[in-house]
Amino acid sequence: MREVSREEIELDEQAYKGSLIMVRWLDSSDRRAPLTDHVASPDVVCKDWGIYLGCSAPDAQGRKLLILGKDVVEVHNEWGATRIPLYLIDEVVVILPREEVVKAVREVQVLGRRVNLRRYERKEERVRVVLV
């Protein structure tokens, strides 16, 4: 794992696209509490992780969003993503660089195929687990 600055991610976007990252950032929140609590501790720190897809184009005020891929619907090639304003980011950690993510995904896909083939070859029934 390697920590990178939000500026580094923004400037060298191509080097990190496709990497598995964790982003620590400040979010807004709704809370009922005495005014003193709001003033004393206004921050809500969030951690999100996913695949770094890039940064958005700047808006009218010049602000950009980091786009963090969470899931994909392969049939439609549509991504579910969290969009985080860059100025709210405290920390970005590269968990796995793109090359290692691709390798890991391929290994998981191969394992998945083996498991499915074995189950169908043995004509095993699906196991249903019920938690009480």
Q: Can you give the pLDDT at residue 121?
A: 53
Long-range contact pairs involving 5-12 (C-beta distance under 8 Å, separation at least 24): 5/92, 6/66, 6/86, 6/89, 6/92, 9/52, 9/55, 9/66, 9/92, 10/55, 10/64, 10/66, 10/86
pTM of the predicted structure, to 2 decimals: 0.69
For 36-71, write each residue's pLDDT tens digit.
877 777 678 899 999 999 999 998 999 999 999 998
**Whole-number Å distance between alpha carbons of 108 and 51:** 16
Q: Distance between CA atoms of 97 and 1, rounded to whole angstroms?
A: 9
CATH number belonging to domain 2-97: 2.30.30
The confidence score (pLDDT) of residue 32 equals 81
Tell me the pLDDT of the chain averaged across its residues: 81
Residue ranges in the chain whose pLDDT is less than 70? 42, 109-132
**What pLDDT sits at residue 131?**
57
